Amino acid sequence: MAEETKKSIDPATIQMLEKAARDGCRVVFDRAESTKACPIGAEGNCCSICAMGPCRVPVPKGREETPEQKKNRTGVCGATAETIAARNFARKIAAGAAAHGDHGRKVTDMFIAAAKGEAPGYEIKDEQKLLQLALELGVTIGDRSNNEIALDVGEILRAEFGKQEGELLMLKRAPLKRQELWRKLGIAPRGIDREIVETMHRTHMGVDQDYQDLLHIGSRCALADGWGGSMIATELQDVMFGTPTPTHSQINLGVMDKDAVNVIIHGHEPALAEMLAVVSQDPEMIEYAKSKGASGINLAGMCCTANEVLMRHGLPIAGNFLQQELAIVTGALEAMIVDVQCIMQGIVDVAQCYHTKIITTDARAKIQGATHIEFIEHDAIESAKSILRAAIDNFPNRSGEVLIPDVKADLIAGFSHETINYLLGGMYRASYRPLNDNIINGRIRGVAGVVGCNNARTTHDDAHLTMVKELIKNDVLVIQTGCSAMALAKAGLMVPEAAALYAGPGLAEVCETVGIPPVLHLGACIDNSRILMAATAMVKEGGLGDDISDLPAAGAAPEWMSEKAITIGQYFVASGVFTVFGVNFPTTGSKEVSDFLFKDMEDMYGGKWAFEPDPLEAARLMIEHIDKKRKALGIDKARERVLYDMAMRRELE
């Protein structure tokens, strides 16, 4: 038990780790113990981009390096430690941007197919969001049908991926000053794919070998994700499946039902999950489940696919990234249906200890040993049904101990930036003014975006919870996405009642007045673009400066793991946000590169990186930054309120 508590703070996770140990089943936490992280790679000091290497150029431990030694610490080709670290970093950005971009492209293709009537089951659910896009893309609205408008919107946005010149259309959403800065610095992205390709080219052997330049083009590539691929994915998903609005649901492994056919949908894209949510309610499918001896069908989500269907359907979440194998360990999971991203290959091995069927559904993400049933969007309903039938057919194969932890928590999700605007002002006076006013008057100290993954190298969920509790205790409103949001929801901080328990007096007062939790769930990791939009709305509302970098705001990913997290971090920084990462940082092997990211970038972008593995200390850094911005805005001190009489007014003139 003591060992397990070092691995996670979540009681459901600890219970399942104990069961896995009893069942002789090896999970990610065990693999993290037996597979030590490579210390050279972790610091970004290993170059494997050509066959003369891999070359390792670690900083000598325990002694000062002479200038001569440093000069000789290069790869075979002569690449310095700085070039190697910057190249590795830029490649991570490109990989993350590619993942989000390909997600966005697939959504766009499906959106166009739906508009053409070629994807039965999918339709335009949110006309207002469609009109919103039409307005900004210059698509004629008039009396045209939604599908006609959608076709034009889809074609324009699909062209953004392959665009070769000019700049991404959605950059125009950013504050004017920020747009100007990007143009001045030459980092306004031209096209989504172009920036990814160019980053891969420049980081090839023997191309760009100036670390500052590499990090600069990494920013352009990251912006092509945040204000490009990710933003397009979020917007078109909203049009097709609905813009999230506040929704009540439950989270943690306790949402599984021992009597029902348990199905978990895991990954990142909502297309299949949306359809499974529909067909799992189909009386024919429920009857089929009953014919196999189950009480019904219990569909739950895992990882970011879960966030997508949670926000739009209130579908419960079984857990975050590090719990994917543990859902199988319950012995009650008939099928884990996966799409793309963050799916550990280890689930196949774990499934072999139990009866769970791992079903891959996307042509881009197959796993050896899993069952592949491809999801066909053009025949979505039948396709989803055949996948669900395979899960139901597995119910009679349950054997061994079934143990579902009696642990779950309530949460309210669905705080899109549009919903925050509505909640703060209502239908006829929707506005970010109340938020800005409460930041100016000091009830709210600032805003923090805490996002990102879980990482088996650090105690599961602990850093997320510790950091966020510290922030809200200090009156910082926290907005969240991804697995980080799930960690806080599991701990009960995503209900309005949490404000009175955990938030500082000012933040609690505002939360109570508006009726919101102190920690707001904004969606999946692709939805970090919603955070950019919320920040932009705050700027445009006025009173907090002219750019995102003026806001008393900060970002963090305390348990980051994936390359996508680095991309997100870089587009936050290049958008003007101070961003702190925990666990480890992939450039610490090069002082120059780290200094450039942690110091010099602030002079260029107004935002910069920081690395701090201690979540409390990281929260303090964020609060310090927020206070610095408050001071710069002149709102760091309460001002005496003076009621002017006429004589005093005359004196003013």
Where along the sequence are the contacts to other proteins (CB under 8 A)? 126-128, 131-132, 135-136, 141, 173, 175-177, 179-180, 183, 242-243, 245-248, 314, 412, 414, 418-419, 421-422, 425, 427-428, 430-432, 536-537, 539-546
Q: How far is the CB of 353 from other proteins (least distance, A)?
A: 37
Q: How far is the CB of 180 from other proteins (least distance, A)?
A: 4
Tell me whether residue 131 or residue 381 sits nearer to other proteins (CB atom).
131
User: Rg of the Cα trace of the chain?
Assistant: 25
Round to whole Å and give the CA distance between 576 and 595.
17
Q: How far is the CB of 399 from other proteins (least distance, A)?
A: 37
3-state per-residue secondary structure call for 472-501: HHCCEEEEECHHHHHHHHHCCCCCCCHHHH
Tell me whether residue 92 or residue 312 sits nearer to other proteins (CB atom).
312
Residues 6+ apart with CB under 8 A from 555: 448, 449, 450, 451, 531, 569, 572, 577, 578, 579, 580
Q: How far is the CB of 606 from other proteins (least distance, A)?
A: 15
Asked if residues 81 and 55 have their Cβ atoms less than 8 Å apart, the reply is no
Q: How far is the CB of 295 from other proteins (least distance, A)?
A: 22
Tell me whether residue 127 or residue 213 sits nearer to other proteins (CB atom).
127
Tell me whether residue 57 or residue 232 sits nearer to other proteins (CB atom).
232
Round to whole Å and give the CA distance between 196 and 221.
6
Tell me whether residue 337 or residue 412 sits nearer to other proteins (CB atom).
412
Greatest CA span in the chain, whole angstroms? Answer: 88
Q: How far is the CB of 296 from other proteins (least distance, A)?
A: 19
Alpha helices for 515-562 (secondary structure H): 528-541
Tell me whether residue 360 or residue 416 sits nearer to other proteins (CB atom).
416
Residues in the chain: 653
Tell me whether residue 58 or residue 242 sits nearer to other proteins (CB atom).
242
Give the residue carrying structure tokens 């793991």: 561
Q: How far is the CB of 444 from other proteins (least distance, A)?
A: 18
Structure token digits, residue 289:
């489940």
Asked if residues 371 and 357 have their Cβ atoms less than 8 Å apart, the reply is yes
Structure token digits, residue 249:
């649901």
Helix, strand, coil percent values for the chain (each to nearest 5): 55, 10, 35
Q: Which residue type occupies 196?
A: I
Structure token digits, residue 62:
């325990």
Q: How far is the CB of 411 from other proteins (least distance, A)?
A: 13
Tell me whether residue 465 or residue 537 sits nearer to other proteins (CB atom).
537
Q: How far is the CB of 398 from other proteins (least distance, A)?
A: 32
Tell me whether residue 50 or residue 156 sits nearer to other proteins (CB atom).
156
Q: How far is the CB of 518 from other proteins (least distance, A)?
A: 18
Tell me whether residue 126 or residue 563 sits nearer to other proteins (CB atom).
126
Structure token digits, residue 531:
């955070």
Round to whole Å and give the CA distance between 45 and 614.
23
Give the residue carrying structure tokens 């609005």: 245
Q: How far is the CB of 504 from other proteins (least distance, A)?
A: 26
Q: Which residue type occupies 161?
A: F
Q: How far is the CB of 90 from other proteins (least distance, A)?
A: 27
Q: How far is the CB of 16 from other proteins (least distance, A)?
A: 30
Q: How far is CA 158 from the centre of its chain?
A: 22
Tell me whether residue 143 or residue 653 sits nearer to other proteins (CB atom).
143
Tell me whether residue 19 or residue 540 sits nearer to other proteins (CB atom).
540
Round to whole Å and give the CA distance between 234 and 196.
20
Cis, peptide link before residue 67, omega less than 30° from 0: no
Q: How far is the CB of 138 from other proteins (least distance, A)?
A: 13
Round to whole Å and give the CA distance between 142 and 134.
11
Please compute, for residue 553, the number of CA atoms within 13 A of its CA located in the half-sphere on the CB side: 29
Round to whole Å and give the CA distance between 343 and 328.
13
Phi first, then psi: give them for residue 127, nearest 5 degrees.
Answer: -60, -35
Q: How far is the CB of 231 from other proteins (least distance, A)?
A: 13
Tell me whether residue 88 or residue 536 sits nearer to other proteins (CB atom).
536
Helix (H) or strand (E) holding 639: none
Tell me whether residue 198 or residue 527 sits nearer to other proteins (CB atom).
527
Round to whole Å and give the CA distance between 348 and 239.
35
Q: How far is the CB of 128 from other proteins (least distance, A)?
A: 4
Tell me whether residue 13 or residue 243 sits nearer to other proteins (CB atom).
243
Q: Give the Cα-Cα-Cα angle 447, 448, 453 (nearest 5 degrees).
A: 160
Per-position DSSP letters for 256-302, written without gaps between them = --TTSEEEEEEES-HHHHHHHHHHTT-HHHHHHHHHTT-S-EEEEEE
Relative orientation angle of helices 380-393 and 283-291, to the nearest 10 degrees: 20
Tell me whether residue 143 or residue 640 sits nearer to other proteins (CB atom).
143
Burial status of residue 609 (CB atoms within 10 A of its CB: 0-12, 13-18, 19 or more): buried
Round to whole Å and give the CA distance between 379 and 387.
12
Q: Which residues pair with 449 in a beta bridge?
A: 479, 555
